[in-house]
Amino acid sequence: MTSFDLQELLSGNRRALAKAITLVESTLDTHREQAQDILEQVLPHSGNSIRIGITGVPGVGKSTFIEAFGLYLIEQGKRVAVLAVDPSSPIAGGSILGDKTRMEELSRREEAFIRPTPAAGALGGVAQKTRETMLLCEAAGYDVILVETVGVGQSEYQVAGMVDFFMVLMLPGGGDELQGIKKGIMELADALVINKADGDSEKLATMTQRQYSSAMSLLRHNSFWTPRVMACSALTSTNIDTVWDMVLEYYVEAAQRKAFTSKRTRQNLDWMHQLLHEMLLLKLSQNSKISAMLPALEQAVERQEITAFAAVRQIMDQL
């Protein structure tokens, strides 16, 4: 990519942004190199957005919420990027079709950029692509990045590790176990938002909110921030503004306590270690000598002829 394209990207040109993301998502070595080059150049222009992670079981209303929330943010003068992490989606964009219909108005807005999940199995993993895409979107001038994820595998943990504010959407009634939410996720949440607090469910939502408020106050959290429990309706756009006000409040408090930069610094270091891990595994798998000896070593360990440690030691000797 030429420096001209980079200027285009920085000026917010959507085609330049889409092209850069395609390079980031590519599995071709030459594309990866180009992508890394671009990422290094955009780095000084990134980091200036509000990064929000949104998770919850399928059907809780994430896409509907993002539509309402995104449109509200645009009303507030923001530019909004929506990224999805869905490791269960086998093809690029496999899951977004249904979502596009829920984000119909948002996807038509000039101030919004919606990017579906990259193909699963891409080098470095889906979450890493999302992280890099986030930096590109920031360089292109998006003020708020919304990262949506479904509760599959490690995706919620990965998303929590790349955003400033992590939100769990829930349904009125039913405990977290009933709703299929992992225990650790509740501890990572900066807010629980009970969605579908409308019509017949409004009362139930208020009750659920009360239950979770007391449950959350019992949870241990090692942050300056006490997680909030709210109720909203994405369908009727009720309390969407309250959710945004809460995020802003979090930012003000975080900035005052200088907790903000330290959180991102920590995330960056985690990211580095994760990348190192992945690169080492990749190097190992690309090493033909090691690939050739692996089956025999596995057998030997299976038959208890050698210890796992001895097997790994033999592999390490090849490096």
Ligand X SMILES: Nc1nc2c(ncn2[C@@H]2O[C@H](COP(=O)(O)OP(=O)(O)O)[C@@H](O)[C@H]2O)c(=O)[nH]1
Which residues would be at the binding site for Mg ion (CB under 5 A)?
A: 62-63, 99
Question: For ligand X, which is the closer residue by CB, 199 or 295?
Answer: 199
Amino acid code (one letter) for 123: L
Question: For ligand X, which is the closer residue by CB, 82 or 135?
Answer: 82
Q: DSSP letters of 81-135?
A: EEEEE-TT--STTTTHHHHHHHTHHHHH-TTEEEEPPPPTT-TT-HHHHHHHHHH
64 binds, among ligand X, Mg ion, none (CB under 5 to 8 A by kind): ligand X
Question: For ligand X, which is the closer residue by CB, 26 or 238?
Answer: 238
Spell 295-307 as b/e; 16+ CB within 10 A means b.
eebeebbeeeeee
- Orientation angle between helical segments 3-10 and 126-139, nearest 10 degrees: 80
Q: Which helix (H) or strand (E) holds 145?
A: strand 144-149
User: Cβ of residue 83: shortest distance to Mg ion, in angstroms?
Assistant: 13
User: Cβ of residue 22: shortest distance to ligand X, in angstroms?
Assistant: 25
Would you say 19 and 5 are in contact if contact means Cβ atoms under 8 Å apart? yes
User: Cβ of residue 304: shortest distance to ligand X, in angstroms?
Assistant: 47
User: Cβ of residue 231: shortest distance to ligand X, in angstroms?
Assistant: 10
60 binds, among ligand X, Mg ion, none (CB under 5 to 8 A by kind): ligand X
Question: For ligand X, which is the closer residue by CB, 132 or 156?
Answer: 156
56 binds, among ligand X, Mg ion, none (CB under 5 to 8 A by kind): ligand X
Would you say 205 and 169 are in contact if contact means Cβ atoms under 8 Å apart? no
User: Cβ of residue 196: shortest distance to Mg ion, in angstroms?
Assistant: 14
Question: For ligand X, which is the closer residue by CB, 6 or 150?
Answer: 150
Q: What is the CA radius of gyration of the chain?
A: 22
| Binding interface with ligand X (CB under 6 A) | 56, 58-64, 102, 195-196, 198, 233-235
CB-nearest residue to ligand X: 61
Instruction: Tell which residue, 312, 55, 287, has the closest CA to residue 193.
Output: 55
